[in-house]
Amino acid sequence: PDIGVIIMTGFGDTYTVKDALLLGADEYITKPFKSYEISLIVERAYWRILSNKEKSTQGSK
């Protein structure tokens, strides 16, 4: 899809992380976090979406 799902939560236990990722989240970050951390996560999600779009375009040629 053309949208990334980033979960921000105060719960950092492995079960919550695992469940979120299994349900389709792209990234997971726990509070408190630094502003640079969320910037990196958003940028990583952006590049992943862009890469998937390029792969999909190449596959349809």
3-61 pLDDT per residue, tens? 889 999 898 888 988 999 999 998 999 999 999 999 999 999 999 889 988 888 887 66
Q: What is the pLDDT of residue 38?
A: 94
Residue written as token pair 């469940």: 19
Q: Domain spans of the chain?
A: 6-59
Q: What is the pLDDT of residue 57?
A: 82
C-alpha span between 44 and 35 (Å, rounded)? 14
- pTM for the full model? 0.71
Residue written as token pair 């590049």: 47
C-alpha span between 12 and 44 (Å, rounded)? 20
